[in-house]
Each structure stands twice: as structure tokens, then as C-alpha cells.
Amino acid sequence: MRCPKCTSIEDKVIDSRITRDGNSTRRRRECLECGHRFTTTEFLVRDSMVVVKHDGRQEPFDRDKLLRAVRAACHKRPVDNEQITMLIEDVIDAVEAQYESQVPTSAIGQHVMQRLRKMDQVAHVRFASIYREFRDVSEFVKEFSSLAPFDPAASGKSKK
């Protein structure tokens, strides 16, 4: 691993930890040239998946693209990065189990929405509004009304 400060490739691993979700390893390293400490994360290299778009186009699966979409849906919501990472890994595991190498975007979107719906309903609606490409407000209202009714007591906020 190249040191981000001096670009030396001589380093030693000080500490290794498997993340809570078990899908990556976090390593704390120290450069033997300059003494700078830095962290690396190792992920399992998966077989390449191809995503089949709605119009039939195909492109390689991009984990970062999915991560950006879920982060955008969860922006300013009480969802932390670890929850998002676990959601992404769960979705990837689910589609890999269901499909060989070609995965339709609809399958990825459905798996994400199922998990977001349980995690945070506002994030679910945000993701659905982009993923489903609502054409008018009535489609948005239909999706919104399919969620559980709002209970102020459950959220800790009550009307006065």
C-alpha cells in the first residue's frame, strides 16, 4: 500500500479489524519511511455483475453509484454510514443469489426500496421518487400513502 504522504510502499500493519457486517477488513498502517499513519479498508472482490437497464443497455455494476444513490436518499436522515453500507451489502448479496451475472436495474431498485422502507420511510420515498420516475403527483401520493400511517407518539414528537 502506498503511503498517502510520502508515496513509499514500505509500511507495516499496526491493527486489523473485521467490520461489524463482516464484509470488509479495516487496517491501520504506519509508513516505515516517514512514520505517517493511515487507514485502509479491504472489500471482498466479487465476480463481475452486469446491470441491465430498462432500455436494454448493459453496464458493469458500480457499487459506488448505488452507494451515492442511497446516501442521497438518506441525506439529513437518522441513518448512519454503517447502516447504509450494510444495506448495500445486503442488496448485493440478494441479487447475486437471485441472478447469475446479469441483474436488471428493477431488481436492484426493489431490493433497495424494501430495505429503505424498513429503515427510514422518508429515505424510501426519496429513493422511490427517483427510481420509479414518477410522472405526476398522483403517483407520488400513491407511493406515500402505501406507507404505514404516521404515529406522533412512536416518533417521540407530539402535538401540543
pLDDT class for 124, splitting at 50, 70, 90? confident
Average pLDDT over residues 137-146: 67
Tell me the three cell numbers of residue 137. 403527483
pLDDT winner (highest mean) among 21-25, 28-32, 115-119, 143-147: 28-32
The DSSP line for 106-145 is HHHHHHHHHHHHHH-HHHHHHHHHHHTT--SHHHHHHHHH
Spatial separation of the C-alpha atoms in residues 119 and 83, rounded to whole Å: 9
Spatial separation of the C-alpha atoms in residues 46 and 48, rounded to whole Å: 6
Average pLDDT over residues 142-160: 52
Q: Report percent pLDDT > 70 for the chain.
A: 79
pLDDT value, residue 41: 87
pLDDT value, residue 153: 47
pLDDT value, residue 45: 64
